[in-house]
Each structure stands twice: as structure tokens, then as C-alpha cells.
Amino acid sequence: MNINIQIRRLTPADAAAYRQIRLAGLQSSPQAFGSTFEAESAEPLNSFSERLGRSAVFGAFCGAELLGIAGFVVRTGVKEAHKGLLWGMYVSPDARQVGLGRRLVEAVIDFARERVELIQLSVVSDNEPARRLYAGLGFVEYGVEKNSLKQNGRYYDEILMARDLGPDLPTLPPPCTEVALREQEFAK
């Protein structure tokens, strides 16, 4: 697929296109989202417009067609405001494997870099393509939330991942184990 793709932040004026692709994602991959098609399809268009006003949602466009989305929001509360959340990532099946997902996540990372020190996300454990994409962009797995989602009686574990956006941290000394302490004493 050789297409000219534009990545840009969605505005409330994009609500109809956003609603359409969001519902398509919820319907085709229900296990991948915390929300449901039934709940969101019942919401009026203005709720999607309001969501685009509250969060940063990026879209991958081919002409006027919205082919993929990825959202970002800064965590709330004084103690968590240094962290952001990548959410709602979805690329239409016929537009996959051409780099759209990578470009969307890169747009989120670029946007987040000026706002937070850390981006977090969760991904269903059996979604290997998404896990590879995130790992390839510097996200590191730091935990598993067992039975995180339940869809039609089946539980799904989610892998928790994060990417540090802060300045390069100084190299930490080796852990202070008894062996490390002895090595330091001999080095004097």
C-alpha cells in the first residue's frame, strides 16, 4: 500500500470521522479496549466532539479518510501529573503493516515530550504485533494486570508498558551487595 498519509491532531470538527473509526475498532477488536461498542455507539456525536476537546487524539489520514487513531492524556492529580497515558490506539485492518501505527505513536511521543516525563500504556497480552510496535519505540514492559478486561465471559491480561521521556539519567552505581562492597574496598 503506497499512500500519502498525513498525521495530525484531531479537532472537535473531526468528531464524525473519529466516532466512525472508534466504533469500528470497538466492534472488530472488542478485547483490545476498556470500553464497548454498545456503550459508545449509544453516545451522541457531541460526546465524541467533547472527548476530542479534552484529550489529544492523533489521526492518520489518507485524503479525507481517517485510517488510524491514538490518544494521549496527562494523568490527573499533583502526584501523577508527570505521567501521561497512550490510549485508544487503533488502525483499520486494511491500513495495517505500512507504518501507520508507528507514525501515530511517534506523534504521541513528540506531543507528550513537552508535557510529561513518562508515557504509560496497557496492551492485551496476546496482541503481539502491538507489543512489538511499542517495544520497538522504546516502551518497556513493567508488569502484568491479570484478568484486566472481561469480554463475553473471557478474561484478558494486560501488559503494562512505559517509556521514559525525561532527561538522560546518570548511570547508577552497581547495587550495594556484599560482593560489590568488597570489590569497592579492594579497588581503594
Query: pTM value?
Result: 0.84
Structural domain boundaries, residue 95:
6-187
- 108 within a domain of the structure (yes/no): yes
| Closest to 102 (Cα-Cα) out of 23, 5, 12, 1 | 5
| Closest to 12 (Cα-Cα) out of 43, 61, 45, 60 | 45
The end-to-end CA distance of the chain, in Å, is 62
d(CA 24, CA 14): 16
| CB proximity list for 180: less than 8 A, separation 6 or greater | 174
- 1 within a domain of the structure (yes/no): no
pLDDT per residue, tens digit, the chain (188 aa), is 446 899 999 999 999 999 999 999 999 998 889 999 999 999 999 999 999 998 899 999 999 999 999 999 999 999 999 999 999 999 999 999 889 999 999 999 999 999 999 999 999 999 999 999 999 999 999 999 999 999 889 999 999 999 999 765 444 444 444 444 444 444 44
How many domains is the chain built from?
Answer: 1
d(CA 169, CA 161): 19
